[in-house]
Amino acid sequence: MSRFGIAWLAAPATLVCLGLFAVPLGLLLVESFHGAQGWSLAGYRDFLGSAYAWGVVARTLRLAALTTAICLVIGYPAAFALAWTRGWVQSVLVACVLLPLSLSVIVKAFGWTVLLRANGAVNLALMGLGITSAPLRLLFTEAGLLIGIVNIFLPFMVLPIFASVRQLDPRLPEAAATLGGGPLYCFLRVVLPLTLPGVIAGGTLVFSLAIAAYVIPTLLMGDAYQTLPVMIATSFLYLQDPMRGSVAGVVLLALSILVVVASTWLGRKGEAA
Amino acid sequence: MIRAAGRVLAWAMLAGAVVFLLAPLVVTILVSLSPSPVFQLPNGRLTLGWYERVGRLDGLVEAVVLTMEVATVATAISLVLGTLAAIAVVRGRFAGREAIATFLVSPLMLPGLVLGIAMLQYFRAIGLREALPSLLLAHVVIVLPFVMRTLTAGLARFDFALIDAARTLGLSYPRAILGVMVPVLAPSFITGGLFGFLASVDNYPVSIFLTDVYHRTLPIQLLQYLGESPDPTVAAVSSIIIGLTVLMLIAGDRMVGLNRMAGV
Amino acid sequence: MEPGDGLNPMATPEPGHLRIAGVAKRFRQTRVLDDISLEVARGEFVSLLGPSGCGKTTLLRILAGLLAADEGRVTLGGRDLAGLAPHRRNVGVVFQNYALFPHLTVAENVAFGLRARRHAKGGIAARVAELLALVQLGPLAGRAIAQLSGGQQQRVAIARALATSPDLVLLDEPLSALDRKLRETMQVELRALLRQLGMTAIFVTHDQEEALTLSDRVAVMNAGRIEQLAGPQAIYDQPASPFVLDFVGQATVLHGNVVEERPASVLVRTALGPIEAPGHMLVGAPAMVAVRPERIVLGTAPDAAWNAVALPIAAGSFLGSRSLLHGALAGPDRATIELPAGKATAAQPGTVVPIAWRVADTLLYPAPA
């Protein structure tokens, strides 16, 4: 088959994706300009003019940023230790990361509702370690939500960094050391830049998953804690206000695309540097 | 000194991460075995009583059957479409093939909930109100990116001289593709198919907009149980799901290897 | 071509087993193959030698049926191959990076062609065992391909290509991935094996040493054409063109103009003085004279049948049993002398030494524009 004829093999999948995902998203965009009295910018005017909506956007972004930061702080060093292991130990540890990643979000969220209760394991551990004297209220607090959401998305940070650490030539830090670089200098100038693609990939993945998270916030915080996804769902499912939902949807979509574009740009810049 | 401190930190974070990641699973299993009806850890005595009640849960069997149906059909369709598209993108020399590759994996990076409402409005606009076909179509879009991603990676590593070799050894072109490409790329098919299947089984944010009273997928049914009847039967169902997921990963490991599945 | 191998009656030369006549191929604007004609006798080993991009692999793929020629005819054993799919040609191919099936064992790889042609099970097992014994891999039959060394993979690839008793074996740079030592061992083994089986083989390589060592005949290719088709000795001693001279082996090359025409030779004025070379060219024509490094001796000319010049030495390199001396020359001229190691000590860099070679060993070409 000629290399031009081969292009047609992509046609079925492209048509399916156009018809089932690009056109619907386009329609959503149209719908967000379509109020009860015909075409209008009312949806956006209401949304952008509302301090409440801005609060929701800010909350969504803050939650995603905190999640990404915590996942990075835990995941970056953990990925290195994971790469230092060998043989069956590594297999078991990789399985420990893959299993939660493959498992239903609802199952994990359910586990956290149990763990975060006043008499749950987290409180018992905190008190046992002498960190707190009385049980903390964790369920339906932002701290509890963060614990749960970091738990769900941590594997998405660990695996890309793990992959980039494994590709790291072990002789490079040694070469840097023979050239007179101290451990910190060597880390900052050799190891960190070389593992940055993994960090960017993991960070993008976690951030875009976190701004779109719906199940965890509703389960651990309830509908009163409004993030963009929760707002979309309540607008459609309970308030029957598709215009508001569509506008929130377009805003969330725009944020997601922005994240991907920004990370692609960062990745290119990293490559060029 | 700094190096030693770094190593200690790394090992501590890994140990902490593993405990942290497994904690909700372990707790779920323990609660499911505890005789206490209010989500308490077992103290001394274990029971399988909650598992016996699983079968009596209202609507569970129907939800499981529907979920499996949707995931299986969507995965099968995605494997065919994804393979063809991946071949085109990896082997073709046409303008815009990178754009197509990005486009076909992009649903992975977009918020599921937005996808869900967009599809809801679209299906209504074109007059599709049946839950089952809506779910099937939507889940193809959910599974396809997983297949597309692993197969493009697999095909990029695939040595197309193998097909030439098979042809000179006596296989016709179509037979060479089936006889060589399919088995050599089996790990990519299995990995992409497995994760796509799991994503479909677990999907909530798209399905929630497309289900009706008679067609509830498993995640939606589970969330409803959590809302209305908070007893450890849900923990028992969750534990069964954990067990099945472990089995699937073991099968995947046997066929492909965990590291390869993790994409490293 | 060497006379028939007494061990195998199959190796008796039978001209025209493979006939390539006027084959041409173009990709978009580029003419990759330009009117290639070549006849190969049954049991003959012919190398296609040339730099990358000369079209040798394209020709190989056309012979295998993996690519269609735009023009020309190919027949094998009297059968026209035009339009015949690769799997109906019975042509064995050893691919550049072996293209072994990674999901199959050694034995399954060798059995692949037999199974594809639906041979009987018992027959397949016996044939596979026979071939693995032939390439000395019997004990590794059950191994996975990834567990083999490069040399072992090479043998599997050869065994796989030979298993179906093909009418023609095509080898695409089969030894290029091996290290030097192993490559030399494999060259000898491969040649012995193919000769023993009386196989007709086309061997593609960019390594001139390999081509000269292995082949009955060598076709030196450049820019889609065969520049010279001859036995290894003739290719080395009588390069048909400056390209062949340059691509095969080393040479001292001097440029100048013809200043005198004699009955069977010409005199060319060069930077080092007048050089006599056998052949005919018009007086005043730009010419290029050359001589192989080992034809040159240190010292003055013993008689008129020798050319003699004084050569300033730029550098020397010691190669164990022999030494190379490089002359200090300007422009397109260059000089390389090969001497037994002991004899080179007199010629230190910076000195000017007298050198000489036979007129009969001098090569003459019109200077390339």
User: Over the stretch C290-333, which tens digit does the pLDDT of each residue have?
Assistant: 999 989 988 888 888 899 999 998 888 888 888 888 988 888 89
Whether C3 has a pLDDT exceeding 60, the answer reads no
Which CATH number covers residue B179? 1.10.3720.10
Domain that holds residue B98: 60-215
Residue pair B95/B171 in contact (Cβ under 8 Å)? The answer is: no
Instruction: Write out chain B residues lying below 8 Å of C92, CB-based.
Output: 168-169
Whether C60 has a pLDDT exceeding 70, the answer reads yes
Would residue B236 count as lying in a domain?
Answer: no
Contact C87 B184 (CB under 8 A): no
**Distances in Å between the alpha carbon of A1 and those of B87, B164, B174, C84, C202?**
12, 13, 11, 16, 26
Contact B88 A121 (CB under 8 A): no
The ipTM value here is 0.87
Interface test with B, best of A89, A104, A117, A231 (most B CBs within 10 A): A104
**Share of residues in chain A with pLDDT > 90 (%):** 38
Would residue B228 count as lying in a domain?
Answer: no
Q: How far is CA B6 from the centre of its chain?
A: 35
Is B256 within 8 Å of chain A by CB? no
User: Over the stretch C221-278, which tens digit does the pLDDT of each residue have?
Assistant: 998 999 999 999 999 999 999 999 999 988 999 999 999 999 999 999 998 889 999 9
Contact C101 B184 (CB under 8 A): yes
C234: CB partners within 8 A, 6+ apart: none
Confidence of residue A272 (pLDDT cuts 50, 70, 90): low
Burial group, residue C333, by CB count within 10 angstroms (0-12, 13-18, 19+):
middle
Domains: count for chain B: 1
Q: Which of B166, B170, B180 sits opposite C117 (nearest CB)?
A: B170
A73 to chain B nearest CA, in Å? 9
**Share of residues in chain C with pLDDT > 90 (%):** 45
Interface test with B, best of A9, A34, A188 (most B CBs within 10 A): A9
**Share of residues in chain B with pLDDT > 70 (%):** 98
pTM of the predicted model as reported, rounded to 2 decimal places: 0.80
B234 to chain A nearest CA, in Å? 9
C202 to chain B nearest CA, in Å? 15
Which SS3 state, helix, strand or coil, does residue B47 take? coil
Is B64 within 8 Å of chain A by CB? no
Nearest CA in chain A to B198: A102
Contact B245 A27 (CB under 8 A): no
Whether A124 has a pLDDT exceeding 80, the answer reads no
Q: A with C: 3 or more CB pairs under 8 Å?
A: no
Task: Give CA–CA dist A92/A231, Å, rounded.
Answer: 40
Residue C5: the pLDDT is 41
A45 to chain B nearest CA, in Å? 20
Instruction: Write out chain C residues lying below 8 Å of B180, CB-based.
Output: 101
Q: Which domains are assigned to chain C?
A: 18-241 (3.40.50.300), 250-366 (2.40.50.140)
Whether B38 has a pLDDT exceeding 90, the answer reads no
Q: B with A: 3 or more CB pairs under 8 Å?
A: yes
Mean pLDDT across chain B: 89
Instruction: Write out chain B residues lying below 8 Å of A115, CB-based.
Output: 23-24, 27
Q: Which of C87, C103, C161 sits opposite B183 (nearest CB)?
A: C103
B104 to chain A nearest CA, in Å? 7
Interface test with B, best of C60, C101, C114, C115 (most B CBs within 10 A): C101
The stretches of chain B forming alpha helices (DSSP H) are: 2-33, 49-54, 60-91, 97-105, 112-125, 131-157, 161-168, 173-176, 182-184, 186-202, 207-210, 218-228, 233-255, 258-261
Q: Which of B159, B170, B180 sits opposite C164 (nearest CB)?
A: B170
**Residue A175: left if φ>0, alpha if ψ -120 to 50, beta else—which one?**
alpha
Counting as contact any 3 or more CB pairs under 8 A, the partners of B are A, C
Whether B105 has a pLDDT exceeding 70, the answer reads yes
Instruction: Write out chain A residues lying below 8 Å of B242, CB-based.
Output: 103, 107
Is B160 within 8 Å of chain A by CB? no
Residue A56: the pLDDT is 93
Q: Which domains are assigned to chain A?
A: 49-109+137-272 (1.10.3720.10)
C271: CB partners within 8 A, 6+ apart: C254, C255, C256, C329, C330, C331, C333
CB contact residues (below 8 A), chain B span 167-196, against chain C: 167-173, 175-176, 179-180, 183-184, 186
Contact B161 C95 (CB under 8 A): yes
Interface test with B, best of C94, C112, C156, C172 (most B CBs within 10 A): C112
